[in-house]
Structure 1
Amino acid sequence: MDIAITGSAMRTALGGTADTYAALLAGRSGIRPLAFVDQGQVNVRYGYHIGPVDEEGERRASDWLTACVAEAAVQAGLDCSRQRVVAIVGTGLREMRGVERWHAEKRTTVPATLHFGAAVRAALPGIDEVITVSNACSASSHALALACDLIDLGDADAVVACGADAMAESMLAMIGRVGDGYSEAVRPFDADRQGVLLGDGAVAVVVQRAGSSTRSELRVRGVGLSCDAHHVTAPHPPGLLAAMRDAYQRAGLIPADAGLVVAHGTGTALNDPTEAAVLTGLFGDRPAGPRVTGIKGAIGHTSGSAGLMSLLVAGEALRHGRVPPIVGLRKPIPEAEPLDLVIDRPAPTGATLAQVNAFGFGGVNAVCLLEVTS
């Protein structure tokens, strides 16, 4: 696979790509009091909102996605009149918040706006096709896998792989029932973690066959997938490992080639020890393992956007040679102690290859390998 990333953009609680990366390096968090819903009713007090939060827009996720697609398309120089361009949007909830408000507030809604075709076409009116897929927390990484397949098969000249999700009351209520008390922050791999919190987000990445543009230094070397269906919410070690090994096999690489891992790192009782143990086993025969970081402590769990957001942060770290610390991590859990976790301050790296993990409910897993070239 020789696929280039020729344009990209994202929106998080910390801003765009550059602002988010700078905030991560500084150890800043985008957490704030939860807005738009009754905190007591959902048993959640905090979230990672994209501001402002003084008024809830009608289609917030769609608006962010339109902005990201437009920015990424300009960077890539897309021209839908001359190129076959397709978009694949990965999401966990689509515009579920619109359905909730339609029901609770007696608002009108148009069903077609609950997926993201209109949002993408607002940025790229001449695009050939827009496909929305819902693959839980690994959705945008699955979108990237499908995008690479379309390029490899010659079925598109360029594909915009995306992710988009805004916090929904139903999802907030679900995570509010998991723990006994309130989680005050996402603390990946920390011994005192209290559980996950949600974040708003959207992301878009344009992929084309390498050589289509001279502007990109980033290559997608492989995307490995698995769907083990082991449990509704609990990750299964063989399923995670299968996705990792699939990625390296597709890329013609081995784990020893990777110098950076951007972990899924949800700050939950089940994910963190499982992911840490699998990573330890994957890299265990190396005298010095890769740097390991994660971004959810700073921007929350952005559901369908999470995988591609981690990918863009990995790209920034490879390009600039600085790996941001894991915000909220103070004392690692025992399972993570063998890993080279980045804590407290940025760590230097000379890595050229990063592994990016994204795991979803039901064992819907995706692992991306990203390479920076000179």
Structure 2
Amino acid sequence: MRVAITGGEMLTCLGDTAATLTALAKGADGSGPLRFYDTDRINVTRGYHIEDGDGGGDEPLLRTGRWLAACVRGAVRQAGIDPSVQRVSVVVGTGLRELRAVERWALDGVPVRRRDLHFDAAVREVLPEAVEVITVSNACSAAGHALALAQDLLAAGEADAVVAAGCDAMSESMLTMMGRVVDAPTPALQPFQEGRAGVLLGEGAAAVVLQRAEDAGGTWLAELLGTGLSCDAHHETAPDVAGIVAAMRDAHERAGVRPQDVGLVLAHGTGTALNDPTEAAALGEVFAGAGTGPLVTGIKGSVGHTSGSAALMSLLVAAEALRTGSVPATAGLRTPIAEAAGLRLVTGEPAACDARVAQVNAFGFGGVNAVSVIRVDG
């Protein structure tokens, strides 16, 4: 079964899809001073915020659901599907759901209805006819897992179209965890950079619409060839080369491609001490002997680590790069780590690319990994 991606939308600190893609091409860094938190106490001073609400006052409640709803609406509109006559399911991947609302309820006494903590209500505000709204919580690879489940629902004939989405906002507990593992606040997120200081959180949402190829009309954003998964349980937080390699090879097998067919990789690239050399080693192992190897870039230096939405944001960037033949550089990367010496990292300026197939990496705590492969025909 061929699967078409017929619509997509994302919202990042840089703006909507069009604004984000334009900013990425210019190498933008969307980080700024952290809002809403006692930065001295949590030892984190910067992040990649979405400016919503009044632009600087009180923190709006249930922000994540609003971003998600906007992206679902945009993706469905672009795909041109009619939920009144087509069976449309929605699968949402997230790391934290509306955890920030729970924190404010517990710490500040700001009430929230329990049913609003699930994304069903937010999705149905813009897609009331949805057959079902499923939420999966798979850490930082959640959107990749949502994509895999969405493809399975289509293959099983359970839906005529499936919206795969991802979303997350910052939370005090996650920020505090980050601040406890560094001596000083991280000044910038620099994927694969020598001497990198660590990760910074981003926030936002992304959504894509999947349809069987025979049901998809008009222009496709890309064809989803397959998603490979692994859960290596190597460590609570530390990534494992073998687990990541397994996900990559599973993705290639499902997609029916060889390593030499992949011309572009959107890396997970978190700028952390462990992820970057581990991911570089895994890429080196999988693409050994595959000619010059694929171009490799990452977007977290521009939009931060967006957790549950990261995989789909990278997928939309990969599709645009294949379509336009221009791959955005990795923001913040100037001197690559030694472990990445064999990779064709895109630095400084966008790189020309005539590839048709791209790979998107997403890895999560506990070795919950998802790797997707897409194709854009010229």
Q: If the TM-score is normalised by the length of the shorter chain, which range does it land in?
A: over 0.9
1:20: Cα distance to partner? 1.0
Alpha-carbon distance between aligned partners in 2 of 1:178 and 1:207, rounded to the nearest angstrom: 39
TM-score normalised by the chain length of structure 2: 0.98
Q: Please say if 1:334 is aligned against 2:328.
A: no
Contact 2:260–2:291 (Cα < 8 Å) also in 1: no
For residues 48 and 38 of structure 1, the distance between their equivalents in structure 2, rounded to whole angstroms, comes to 16
What amino acid is the match of 2:48? Y
- Aligned counterpart, 2:316: 312
Question: Can you list the C-alpha shifts for 1:68-116, whole angstroms capped at 9, x where unaligned?
Answer: 1111111111222211110000000000000011111111111111121
Work out whether 1:242 is the aligned partner of 2:213: no
Q: Is 1:371–2:346 an aligned residue pair?
A: no
User: In structure 2, how many angstroms separate the alpha carbons of the residues matched to 1:306 and 1:44?
Assistant: 21
Superposed, 1:211-230 pairs within 5 Å as 211=214, 212-230=216-234
Return the alpha-carbon distance in structure 2 between the equivalents of residues 103 and 131 of structure 1.
26
1:269 equivalent to 2:280? Answer: no
Superimposed CA distance per residue, residues 4-37 of structure 1 (whole angstroms, 9 cap, x where no aligned partner): 0111100000111121111111111100000011
Superposed, 1:54-65 pairs within 5 Å as 54-55=56-57, 56-65=59-68
Q: Which amino acid aligns with 1:25?
A: A
Instruction: Report the Cα offset of residue 217 of structure 1.
Output: 4.2
Give me the CA root mean square deviation: 0.9
- Aligned position for 1:163: 166
**Structure 2: how far apart are the matches of 1:352 and 1:213?**
20
CA positional deviation for 1:42: 1.1
Which is further off, 14-23 or 30-39? 14-23
Matches within 5 A, 1:1-374: 1-52=1-52, 53-55=55-57, 56-211=59-214, 212-374=216-378
Aligned length: 374
Any stretches of 5+ residues in structure 1 without a counterpart?
A: none
- 1:274 is displaced (CA, Å) by 0.4
Could you tell me how far apart the structure 2 residues matched to 1:209 and 1:30 are?
36
- The alignment partner of 1:197 has SS state of coil
Give yes or no for contact 2:7–2:221 (8 Å, CA) kept in 1.
no
* Aligned residue identity for 1:39: T
- Unpaired stretches in structure 2, ≥5 consecutive residues: none
Find runs of 4+ consecutive structure 1 residues off by over 3 angstroms: none
Please report the TM-score for the alignment, with normalisation by the length of structure 1.
0.99
